[in-house]
């Protein structure tokens, strides 16, 4: 009002213009306005650098944007762009119809929801059905040349189609939209009786047998262990087979992993046929926890020629012909394996035969046969079950030994123990210390950090749980039975 009174008191227009310009240029007033909102309206609001005008509303350009289709301000986020892109453009023809429902299990039903396209831009249809919860984003709405990508909510993954390059060309979408979202690993309620038949002959050696333990533990970690889920049994064999773990021994995964870690390595000889017969006669019984109504999967792991190979065809056939046997997986390790014998054990199903060059390739963890990854797996599972970790960390144990050595030194210096006692106890503690240091020996894996990687995998051809439970379309809202109506946007437009 003060400015208006001064302007009205001046007789000539040039003085008014000069006063206004000098007022806005005065640095004490603040930054210079760059326009009025709405544009050209002398009664509008002035706006300054960093601000924008959206149909008469000011907004902060660093955090928001103006959706010209709706004359509304949205946050500069994927959600904001999606809200803006959901606004329908009001063209006049080329109408498509869709169902009254935006969520359905039958997307092919007669449709009534209206959406339109611009007849002059070779646009593709603007809306389409996608599995519910699957997200999509495009570069340029449904216009010619627009490309779209798809994403599933965690932990699901897209089932990649044959032609994933989904784009709009001359009014038609070409390429394939994903069929569904998939889940890796086995279902949480999967029922299976899984029997491991493991070679423990003298040719394997202690270090390599620890790789075998680590491999078995890695497989079990990915299985849903429980009384009414997956049960696991372990048989070792050399000259004679031994039932180390029965299917009804452990329903706690942590306890089962610890039992596998404690399986002893002993014996000589490789009587593979005898081990297969033992499996049929002793592992498929209700008394040891085998369930007649649940399929059995058997994994046989061996590193060499069977000493009773003449009996192998008959024993393998007996195992495969058992009414509860669903699959027999065969894993051969090393250069001494006989491929013909592996195929016999698998009953000629070569897709169920897996070979690796050495025992380290079973896991790819480069632990040099130590128990580092085994202990980590057990402790992690105990933590998931809300139980105390099986043991203190190696670092804690090393610190405890150093403390005992320090106390021992003090006792000797104070003449509290004899030199013989000091030497004996000190040697014992030093041996324990060296054993612990050997467990955490760091092997070169990555030039940047020489640390054992317990989650690595081998590039060799080997059996994994993903082979047992391949990724598959999931049921439920994120799967292939429920659909939502989706509209093409330009969320991937970089400008």
Neighbours of 460 (CB within 10 A): 15
State the alpha helices, DSSP H only, in 200-328: 206-221, 253-261, 272-278, 312-321
Half-sphere exposure of 325 (CA within 13 A, CB side): 20
| Spatial CA neighbour of 119 closest among 171, 159, 180, 167 | 171
Fold of 192-384: Rossmann fold (3.40.50)
Q: Under a CB-based contact definition with an 8 Å cutoff, are residues 90 and 115 in contact? A: no
3-class SS of residue 233: strand
Q: Are strands 296-302 and 241-245 parallel, antiparallel or unpaired?
A: unpaired
Say whether pLDDT at 100 is over 70. no
Q: Are strands 192-199 and 230-237 parallel, antiparallel or unpaired?
A: parallel
Specify the higher pLDDT residue, 81 or 160: 160
Share of the chain above pLDDT 90, in %: 27
pLDDT level of residue 462 (50, 70, 90 thresholds): low
Residue 189: per-residue pLDDT? 86
Domain locations in the chain as residue ranges: 95-184+481-487, 192-384
Say whether pLDDT at 452 is over 80. no
Residue 243: per-residue pLDDT? 96
Distance CA(379)–CA(392), nearest Å, equals: 10
Q: How far is CA 459 from the centre of its chain?
A: 18
Distance CA(63)–CA(16), nearest Å, equals: 38
Strand boundaries in 303-368, DSSP class E: 325-333, 353-356
Tokens describing residue 399? 């610190």
Query: Contacts from 80-85 at CB under 8 Å and sequence distance 24+?
Result: 81/489, 81/490, 81/491, 82/489, 82/491, 85/141, 85/487, 85/488, 85/489, 85/490, 85/491
Residue 112: per-residue pLDDT? 33
Residue 451: per-residue pLDDT? 46
Among 26-35, 126-135, 205-214, 307-316, name the most confident range: 307-316
Distance CA(395)–CA(307), nearest Å, equals: 45
Residue 357: per-residue pLDDT? 86
Residue 453: per-residue pLDDT? 61
Residue 68: per-residue pLDDT? 63
| Spatial CA neighbour of 33 closest among 13, 8, 58, 63 | 58
The per-residue pLDDT for range 378-402, each reduced to its tens digit, is: 888 888 777 765 555 566 777 788 8
The per-residue pLDDT for range 15-63, each reduced to its tens digit, is: 333 333 333 344 444 456 667 787 666 677 777 777 888 877 888 877 7
pTM of the model: 0.56
Neighbours of 3 (CB within 10 A): 11
- SS3 percent helix, strand, coil of the chain, rounded to 5, is 30, 20, 45
Say whether pLDDT at 69 is over 90. no
Say whether pLDDT at 97 is over 50. no
33 sits in the region (left: phi over 0; alpha: psi -120 to 50; else beta) called: beta
Say whether pLDDT at 221 is over 70. yes
Residue 480: per-residue pLDDT? 54
Alpha-carbon distance values, 328 to 272, 359, 370 (Å): 14, 20, 29
Distance CA(121)–CA(252), nearest Å, equals: 62
């Amino acid at each position: 009002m003060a400015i208006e009174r001064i302007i009205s008191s001046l007789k000539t227009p040039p003085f008014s213009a000069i006063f206004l310009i000098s007022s806005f240029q005065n640095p004490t007033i603040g930054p210079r306005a760059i326009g009025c909102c709405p544009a050209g309206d002398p009664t509008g609001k002035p706006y300054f650098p960093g601000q924008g005008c959206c149909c008469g509303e000011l907004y902060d350009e660093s955090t928001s944007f103006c959706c010209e289709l709706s004359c509304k301000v949205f946050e500069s986020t994927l959600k904001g762009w999606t809200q803006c892109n959901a606004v329908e453009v009001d063209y006049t023809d080329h109408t498509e119809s869709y169902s009254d429902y935006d969520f359905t299990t039958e997307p092919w039903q007669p449709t009534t929801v209206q959406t339109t396209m611009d007849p002059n831009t070779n646009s593709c249809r603007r809306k389409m059905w996608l599995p519910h919860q699957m997200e999509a984003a495009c570069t340029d709405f449904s216009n010619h040349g627009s490309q779209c990508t798809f994403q599933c909510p965690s932990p699901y993954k897209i089932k990649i189609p044959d032609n994933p390059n989904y784009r709009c060309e001359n009014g038609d979408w070409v390429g394939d939209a994903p069929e569904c979202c998939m889940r890796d690993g086995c279902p949480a309620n999967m029922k299976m009786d899984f029997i491991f038949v493991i070679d423990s002959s003298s040719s394997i050696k202690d270090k390599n047998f620890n790789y075998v333990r680590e491999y078995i533990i890695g497989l079990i970690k990915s299985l849903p262990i429980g009384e009414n889920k997956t049960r696991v049994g372990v048989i070792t064999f050399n000259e004679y087979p031994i039932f180390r773990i029965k299917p009804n021994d452990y329903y706690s995964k942590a306890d089962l992993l610890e039992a596998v870690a404690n399986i002893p390595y002993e014996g000589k000889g490789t009587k593979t046929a005898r081990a297969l017969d033992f499996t049929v006669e002793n592992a498929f019984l209700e008394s040891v926890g085998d369930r007649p109504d649940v399929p059995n999967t058997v994994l046989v792991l061996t590193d060499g020629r069977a000493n009773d190979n003449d009996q192998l065809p008959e024993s393998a056939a007996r195992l495969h012909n058992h009414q509860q046997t669903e699959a027999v997986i065969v894993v051969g390790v090393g250069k001494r394996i006989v491929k013909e014998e592996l195929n016999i054990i698998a009953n000629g199903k070569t897709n169920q035969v897996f070979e690796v060059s050495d025992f380290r390739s079973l896991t790819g963890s480069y632990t040099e046969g130590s128990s580092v990854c085994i202990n980590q797996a057990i402790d992690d599972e105990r933590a998931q079950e809300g139980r105390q970790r099986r043991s203190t960390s190696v670092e804690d144990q090393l610190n405890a030994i150093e403390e005992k050595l320090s106390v021992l030194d003090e006792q000797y210096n104070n003449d509290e123990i004899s030199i013989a006692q000091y030497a004996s106890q000190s040697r014992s503690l030093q041996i324990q210390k060296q054993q612990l240091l050997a467990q955490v020996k760091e092997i070169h894996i990555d030039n940047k950090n020489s640390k054992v990687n317990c989650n690595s995998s081998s590039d060799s051809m080997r059996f994994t749980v993903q082979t047992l439970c391949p990724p598959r379309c999931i049921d439920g809202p994120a799967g292939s039975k429920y659909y939502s109506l989706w509209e093409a946007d330009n969320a991937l437009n970089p400008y």
